[in-house]
Each structure stands twice: as C-alpha cells, then as structure tokens.
C-alpha cells in the first residue's frame, strides 16, 4: 500500500484533528499500519515473535506520544517531553527493524528504515524548535 492509498482510507475525524497538521503524525500512523502487516510475517517465526512485540510497541509509541503531547497543548515542557519520547521510540523502532531484517524482505526493511529516518528528522526539528521556544520564554 502506498502512502496516497493509505491517506484515502484514513477517517476524516482523524484528519481534522490538530495533531494531523504536523508533518510527522500522518507518517507515524502510516508506519504503524505498515508495521502491523510486517508483524504478521514476523510472528510466523519463533524468533520473530519477540521482535514483533517490541516493534509494534515502539512504532505505536511514536504516534501515541504525539497525540498525548498535542493533547496537553503545544508548547511548554510537557509537550517537549512527549516529543522526546516519540523520538526515542522512533530510534528504538529503527533498531528493531534492523534486528528483524532476516525475517522481512530487504525492500521492506529498507522502506521502513527510510520512513523512520524521515520521522526522526522531523521529530529532531520539532524538539529543537520546542527547546528554543521554552528557553526564550
């Protein structure tokens, strides 16, 4: 499934939320849906079960922490904290995708790692911006 195909299936109520307006949140939700599919493959192998559990948790944590951070209001230390947790989860997910590389097709691993790089880059920018705002307040 492509990002555009996935976008068409996202309910309007999700797209109308304030967190959707950030560039990173839709990508994080898209990654979660892709990871869900990847976990089906990982769960077929005993070694993959451990990876699948950690992978779905870390990838799910990215969007969940963005939701909670936005829910507490943009700006301030709490928002910055949840951005940093989302960033940590994205970095963790990279590691789990790398660990699962023997059980997933190489093109899948490469795509997920590239998507995670985009997410990490966006989150790093958001964290830096937030830190600058809180310092100047």
Q: What is the pLDDT of residues 56-80, one digit of tens each?
A: 999 999 999 999 998 887 777 888 8
d(CA 33, CA 102): 21
pLDDT surpasses 70 at 137: no
Check residue 86 and give its pLDDT. 98
- Residue whose C-alpha is closest to residue 35's, from 113, 88, 106, 102: 113
Domain count, the chain: 1
Residue 75 lies in a domain: yes
CATH number at residue 101: 1.20.1440.60
Say if residue 23's pLDDT is above 70: yes
**pLDDT computed for residue 134 by the predictor:** 66
Contact 55, 96 (CB under 8 A): yes
How buried is residue 29: exposed, middle or buried, by Cβ count under 10 Å (0-12/13-18/19+)? buried
Over residues 15-32, mean pLDDT: 96
Best CA proximity match to 96, nearest among 33, 14, 28, 39:
39
Q: Does residue 9 lie within any of the structural domains?
A: no
Distance in Å from the first CA to the final CA of the chain: 43
For residue 115, give its domain range. Answer: 19-135
Average pLDDT score over residue span 39-66: 97
User: What pLDDT does 9 receive?
Assistant: 96
């Amino acid at each position: 499934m492509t990002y555009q195909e996935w976008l068409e299936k996202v309910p309007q109520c999700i797209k109308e939320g304030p967190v959707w307006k950030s560039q990173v949140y839709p990508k994080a939700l898209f990654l979660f849906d892709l990871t869900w599919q990847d976990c089906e493959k990982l769960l077929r192998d005993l070694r993959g079960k451990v990876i699948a559990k950690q992978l779905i948790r870390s990838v799910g944590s990215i969007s969940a922490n963005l939701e909670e951070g936005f829910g507490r209001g943009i700006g301030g230390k709490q928002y910055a904290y949840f951005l940093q947790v989302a960033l940590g989860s994205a970095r963790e997910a990279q590691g789990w995708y790398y660990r699962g590389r023997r059980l997933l097709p190489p093109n899948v691993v490469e795509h997920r790692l590239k998507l995670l790089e985009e997410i990490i880059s966006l989150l790093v920018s958001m964290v830096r911006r937030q830190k600058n705002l809180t310092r100047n307040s």
